[in-house]
Amino acid sequence: MVENARRKARAVAPPAAGLVIACDTDVVLDGEVLGKPANPAEARAYLDRMSGRGHTVMSGLVVVEDGEERSGLERSEVVFKALGDAAKQRYVDFGEWRGRSGGYAIQTLGSTLVERLEGSVSNVVGLPVGLLAELAPVLFERAGASDGW
């Protein structure tokens, strides 16, 4: 994941000045990376496999600022509810699995699939904001603020 993010960053990084943020997020179940489902049948198969089980969401993040590269890896654990056939089909029919690693998006209807989450919800969304704050604190500084956030 970090290497994929690094490739993305280097594809657009200016040579000496500026800021580039690149992230690559994957869903891992039983040691296998679940990519983006190719079709509704594969999206349904992902839901069948993840129903009632936990999986790991991992994001590699690379920040290139003024030619300096910093990187990190964030992990979150997500446990899905035991999903009935109707819930799975509703989600597949809704279509938000398209273009999503693991075939779901936690920030919208996909939140109804989740029983619990340990770690960063922003990581599961696809941009680990806490890690970004560590790698590029200048993005989160407020002029004149003494309390930080």
Return the structure tokens found at 62. Answer: 């690379």
Task: Select which of 24, 48, 66, 147 is catalytic.
Answer: 24
Strand 54-65 relative to strand 68-80: parallel, antiparallel, unpaired? antiparallel
Positive or negative torsion for Cα 122, 127, 131, 135: negative
Residue 24 known to be catalytic: yes
Residue pair 18/68 in contact (Cβ under 8 Å)? The answer is no
The b-or-e profile of 76-101 (16+ CB within 10 A means b, else e) is bebebeebeeeebeebbeeebbeebb
Q: Which of left, alpha, beta for 134 (phi over 0: left; psi -120 to 50: alpha)? A: alpha
Active-site amino acid positions? 24
